[in-house]
Amino acid sequence: MLKLSPSILAADFTILGEQMSKVEEGGCDYFHFDVMDGMFVPNISFGIPVLASVRKFTKKTLDVHLMVQDPERYIDKFIDSGADIVTVHKEATDDALSALRAIRRRGKRAGLAIKPYTDTKELIPFFGEADMFLIMTVEPGFGGQKYMDICTDKIKALRGSLREAGLDTDIQVDGGITRDNINTVIDAGANVIVMGSSVFSGDIKGNAAYFTELFRTYNKGEIQ
């Protein structure tokens, strides 16, 4: 099933609630919450207090992407503040397995992310331990970047490896996804689609409705 996860990093924070409502009117499955610590990535975004407010505002699944060094330090705090999915970066921890297990122990879905130049083979030891694998399609740290074409084959490779292992684990893509390349990433095997600028710029409700309708037709099998 295809799922749309708009990234609020691209929203106007002076009217965040209003813009999230517009997204929900158009349709979405999750909200993507990009946490950046200025260490693992060269940018700082937002954290626990903002998540706690967003949690009070929406019933949608909160898909928290921790671009944070040593994320195990914060897993419980983000779950306590409302995260439904917590994704950690393999490159940010010495023990991704215990981080994933800590998330699942709290009854939440665990995601494992890799940066564009990290080989998907590094995810194979975690098959069965994660509910979602995130393939970054831009260097993490900023919204509004251009999709990195080298990632298309990575999505295909990971979907192939999962299929061989008899798994249909979610593959999330994140960064530079637009109306022009959305079919490419879906056809490659991604099924959870993060979009910041493509949703939050211009006609927010219309953008969300466009992608929701596109995903509905894919999900119904009308588009192969």
Annotated catalytic sites, by residue?
A: 34, 174
Determine, following the binding rule CB under 6 A, whether residue 174 of this chain makes contact with ligand DX5: yes
For Zn ion, the closer of residues 34 and 170 by Cβ is: 34
Query: CB of residue 84 vs ligand DX5: minimum separation in angstroms?
Result: 16
Alpha helices in the chain (DSSP H): 16-26, 48-57, 75-80, 96-105, 150-164, 182-188, 197-200, 204-219
For ligand DX5, the closer of residues 154 and 168 by Cβ is: 154
Partner interacting with residue 92 (select from Zn ion, ligand DX5, none; CB below 5-8 Å by kind): none
- The span from the first CA to the last CA of the chain, in angstroms, equals 13
- Residues 6 or more apart in contact with residue 212 via CB below 8 angstroms: 4, 26, 27, 28
For Zn ion, the closer of residues 43 and 161 by Cβ is: 43
45-47-52-57 Cα dihedral, nearest 10 degrees:
10
107-146 footprint of ligand DX5 as x/- string (CB under 6 A): -------------------------------x-xxxxxx-
- Residues 6 or more apart in contact with residue 136 via CB below 8 angstroms: 113, 114, 115, 116, 151, 174, 175
Query: CB of residue 174 vs Zn ion: minimum separation in angstroms?
Result: 4
Partner interacting with residue 86 (select from ligand DX5, Zn ion, none; CB below 5-8 Å by kind): none
Which residues make up the interface to ligand DX5 (CB under 6 A)? 7, 9-10, 32, 34, 65, 67, 138, 140-145, 174-177, 194-198
